[in-house]
Structure 1
């Protein structure tokens, strides 16, 4: 019995090697994740049936009191008994695939044992499908577990060999030496089968853990790449974004090449084939159009699916990933490979994850832009509304001046017209030339000094060469207005406001100072960060500061402080040269 047990374990070692190879096949994953359909049931039943046949062929023969160990078990004489581990494959099929897979695998293994012959063939024919069916029904009790633990599998594996021994005694009661055979093979068969089933389930647990770790690594990698891609995605579907994304993906991933498209043409291509996959070429491949229309990741496994017309193109396979911020994909990212075999399951997981993450980021960026446009449009609409008190006071001054100083009255009228024309044009632009903003401020200063003649003096200093600098409209004028209405509110005479625009090394500095009362301490800490007056509908420091930050960047935010000699200073910086875009989009 001891020698028989050792022989069975030796043979099972070869069977387990075959089982280990089986766990590495791509289709085995569907069993682990319970992804069943009619086709997969037949496929898995057939595969495990072949596994059972292979286990039978690795079996041994009992010939009387002699144990025969063939290289492969091809046939059994009528007076011999075949002892195999086919039940290991059938039990595993039932535990993983359920009753139908177990039954199918058992029938295949049982039919093979029928043609093999020997004493006990009838018991073997019945025990294999019955064991597969019972193992599948038993697995339903552990349906909440992804894989049955080795200890439970060890316990379950004890019963099939016992059932086999009982059926051999039932179906062959007149065989003279059947009781002796059962006594001889019973315990070795129970030990070897149950331990083999436990080892196989442990293998499955290891495979599952490897897949989970691989998926976790792919997810973590996708998150890292998506985070690094965010600065490029904020540029929208433009060449700069495409070049940045393609360079990033090519450096981070082990792929032959990567392309980024806008849905119609190639924007950038990095890697092999760059000599003929040129930016500007139209997308003509059918699989790319399908990915755009269905918004699903597609895989091209052949050169014909890529449809590259270049005769020496080294790229034979690709993963096409749709990206977009709405219901329809607006662009594609393509991972190219030299061979279809180079596309691993982890690459597909990574590609799909990247596509979803990048699409979500684009959607968030688009929503933030839309929110910013709405906010900016609202602010410009508010700025375009001329304060009626300011208008009435200015008209009153003009009427008074016409009696004594008609020339000056005409001049103020022209400045008021310029001021109103500028305000009416605010709605159409997010950025204007700094020179136009200066003209607006001069018009406002002329009107204010006419209103507060003798009480207020405003000086304006402007550097030359600022024609290529852009600024949000109505940015400087609200600062001057703030000094007039708040800083110099209680100043009766000798009020002074100075507006200075200076060229620095790489920026333009705008400063507005006054000699008024300054900001109260409780206001100074929050000035520019929140609206100073609840419900106020005129343009304030908060609105100016927020628009500067959004349109020109954090470095252009307002800097507000009180001066030691009295009064306050509000300043900000503008980049020396910025590219003006239509509606800043």
Structure 2
């Protein structure tokens, strides 16, 4: 038994070397990250099935009470039995790939064992698919773990050899002889298989750690470069921007060369090949055009794919990274390499991350430019106490919408323009027509409704022919804003704000109500009468509105504020009107 255990560990050592090589295969990563598909499940089942066959070929032959050691096992006699290590591969297949991969790998390895023949052929053939299926079902209990820990794998690895021993005894033609064989091989198989499975899972954990370290390094480098690229991205001249980006990437990444292009021509080139890769050259690489059209990163692994017309060009491989502005690809950054072997996974991750970060930076810069255009208007609107957060949030909303829904982004931009144009005139007009005030409120409502579409619904109703009614500017909008920011602050869905304008013979009543939390009872009587601090349910804004109404339209136009019996609050005022 001791000799058999030593030989099994020796053979398993060879298999673990193969397993180490297996973990370096790029396709193996999809198993680690649970990226399953029918095609990849088939590939992985075949891969682990072949690994199981390798465990059989490098196994040991038992003949009577003796152990027969061969270099490789291709077939055995009727009085012999093969002691295979195939269960190691099958358990790993089930734990990583689930029941489908485990069963598929078990069928392949079991079929091979069936053709090898010998004593216990039925048991040895059946135990592999059964083990793969059971291991896959067991893995579902650990679905939240990236990879099962070695200690758990050690425990799981005990059961497949035990199952094999039971099947050997069940299907044995000569029970007494099989009992002797089981006594000989049972403990060595349990020890060797369980320890090998634990070592394999530890190796997988090391691979995951390596990949995470590489990803972390690429992310850190990409973030650093993206931050350093910001001053260049802000330049108005495309050629200056491209030259700065090319120099930065060339110096930081130590590449063979870097090119930056727009949709048609090369804007800058830095590094090898600068004698024939020149600024102003037309883009001739098909993969560059494909990167722009598909908005996906492309990789050229040969000089023919780069399509350089210079026969002596030292550049043999390249990564083409599309640069996105809003929802369109406006250019390409090319990383050039001397050899295709220089393109490692870390370079691909870094390139993809940089492309996304630079694209996001460009969108942010576009948003900042829009913010700059309205900054003067913001300063002139201080009298109306426009919340700057509203402007910033709206700009961010527009920037986000340009990537998802450009038509909606244009609509919100127009509404923001209407909103700002109205506020610009606040300093020059003490009263405006109610019709214009309604347009101002509708623009604000459109922006807020888009921003909080999943949280609230704002209803607005107005009568006909209110063009001749005068009202202090920016009177209704602060009331709606108060409901959004304070009344419905803690509401995650189902919030409703209703803005109603009702006309009678002598007056017009304007009401804003919501179904939120209402005003705290301790400040309800003071709201609108005192300039409360900003964090006290919009007290400052309501106070300013109330003071302007009273000073311009009289005491009868003051605000009336109350909490509704069910939930929420109501704020209303009346202004004089004659038909």
Q: TM-score range by the shorter chain?
A: 0.5 to 0.7
The corresponding residue for 1:59 is: 59
**How far is the alpha carbon of 1:380 from its aligned partner?**
11
CA 169–361 in structure 1, closer or farther in 2 if over 3 Å, else same:
same
Q: Give the SS at the match of 2:329.
A: coil
The corresponding residue for 2:4 is: 4
**CA deviation vs aligned residue, 1:494-546 (integer Å, no higher than 9, x gap):** xxxxxxxxxxxxxxxxxxxxxxxxxxxxxxxxxxxxxxxx9xxxxxxxxxxxx
1-structure distance, mates of 2:125, 2:226? 57
**CA deviation vs aligned residue, 1:448-492 (integer Å, no higher than 9, x gap):** xxxxxxxxxxxxxxxxxxxxxxxxxxxxxxxxxxxxxxxxxxxxx
Q: Does the alignment pair 1:264 with 2:264?
A: yes
**How far is the alpha carbon of 1:241 from its aligned partner?**
1.6
Report the more deviating stretch, 334-343 or 93-102: 334-343
Q: Give the SS at the match of 1:147.
A: coil
CA 378–64 in structure 1, closer or farther in 2 if over 3 Å, else same:
closer
The corresponding residue for 1:69 is: 69
**CA deviation vs aligned residue, 1:210-252 (integer Å, no higher than 9, x gap):** 1011101100000011111111111145222212211111111
The corresponding residue for 1:231 is: 231
The corresponding residue for 2:506 is: none
The corresponding residue for 1:281 is: 281
**How far is the alpha carbon of 1:366 from its aligned partner?**
1.5
Q: Give the SS at the match of 2:314.
A: coil
**How far is the alpha carbon of 1:73 from its aligned partner?**
1.5
CA 20–164 in structure 1, closer or farther in 2 if over 3 Å, else same:
same
The corresponding residue for 2:163 is: 163
Q: Give the SS at the match of 1:182.
A: helix
Structure 1 runs (4+) deviating above 4 angstroms are: 376-381
Give the TM-score normalised by the residue count of structure 1. Answer: 0.63
The corresponding residue for 2:321 is: 321
Q: Does the alignment pair 1:373 with 2:373?
A: yes
Q: Give the SS at the match of 1:322.
A: strand
**How far is the alpha carbon of 1:374 from its aligned partner?**
3.2
The corresponding residue for 1:81 is: 81
The corresponding residue for 1:516 is: none
1-structure distance, mates of 2:91, 2:218? 34
CA 245–251 in structure 1, closer or farther in 2 if over 3 Å, else same:
same
Cα contact 1:91–1:131 (8 A) shared by 2? yes
The corresponding residue for 1:24 is: 24
Q: Give the SS at the match of 1:330.
A: strand
Cα contact 1:237–1:262 (8 A) shared by 2? no
Q: Does the alignment pair 1:290 with 2:290?
A: yes
Give the number of the structure whose alpha-carbon radius of gyration is greater: 1
The corresponding residue for 2:306 is: 306
CA 31–293 in structure 1, closer or farther in 2 if over 3 Å, else same:
same
1-structure distance, mates of 2:293, 2:376? 34
The corresponding residue for 2:344 is: 344
Cα contact 1:90–1:102 (8 A) shared by 2? yes
1-structure distance, mates of 2:379, 2:82? 90
CA 196–236 in structure 1, closer or farther in 2 if over 3 Å, else same:
farther
What are the ranges of 5 or more consecutive residues in structure 1 without an aligned counterpart?
382-533, 535-585
Report the more deviating stretch, 67-76 or 44-53: 67-76
Question: How many positions carry a matched residue from both structures?
Answer: 384
Cα contact 1:261–1:332 (8 A) shared by 2? yes
The corresponding residue for 1:186 is: 186
Q: Does the alignment pair 1:245 with 2:230?
A: no
Map residues 69-468 of structure 1 onto 2, 5 A cutoff.
Answer: 69-174=69-174, 176-236=176-236, 238-375=238-375
**How far is the alpha carbon of 1:305 from its aligned partner?**
2.3
**How far is the alpha carbon of 1:294 from its aligned partner?**
2.5
**How far is the alpha carbon of 1:325 from its aligned partner?**
2.7
2-structure distance, mates of 1:322, 1:377? 36
Q: Give the SS at the match of 2:325.
A: coil
1-structure distance, mates of 2:328, 2:187? 65
2-structure distance, mates of 1:69, 1:168? 21
Cα contact 1:53–1:109 (8 A) shared by 2? yes
**How far is the alpha carbon of 1:174 from its aligned partner?**
1.9
**How far is the alpha carbon of 1:129 from its aligned partner?**
0.7
**CA deviation vs aligned residue, 1:374-426 (integer Å, no higher than 9, x gap):** 33588899xxxxxxxxxxxxxxxxxxxxxxxxxxxxxxxxxxxxxxxxxxxxx
1-structure distance, mates of 2:377, 2:306? 45
2-structure distance, mates of 1:39, 1:358? 34
Q: Give the SS at the match of 2:255.
A: coil
1-structure distance, mates of 2:258, 2:140? 46
**How far is the alpha carbon of 1:98 from its aligned partner?**
0.6
**CA deviation vs aligned residue, 1:317-361 (integer Å, no higher than 9, x gap):** 211111133110212110112222221111111111101111111
Q: Give the SS at the match of 1:333.
A: strand
The corresponding residue for 1:40 is: 40
**How far is the alpha carbon of 1:175 from its aligned partner?**
5.4
2-structure distance, mates of 1:107, 1:272? 54
1-structure distance, mates of 2:357, 2:237? 16
CA 378–264 in structure 1, closer or farther in 2 if over 3 Å, else same:
farther
**CA deviation vs aligned residue, 1:152-208 (integer Å, no higher than 9, x gap):** 111111010011111111111325521111000000100100010011011111100
2-structure distance, mates of 1:236, 1:162? 73
Report the more deviating stretch, 120-129 or 280-289: 280-289
CA 298–159 in structure 1, closer or farther in 2 if over 3 Å, else same:
same
**CA deviation vs aligned residue, 1:112-141 (integer Å, no higher than 9, x gap):** 111111111111111101110111011111
The corresponding residue for 1:531 is: none
RMSD: 2.0
The corresponding residue for 1:519 is: none
2-structure distance, mates of 1:324, 1:80? 67
**How far is the alpha carbon of 1:111 from its aligned partner?**
1.1
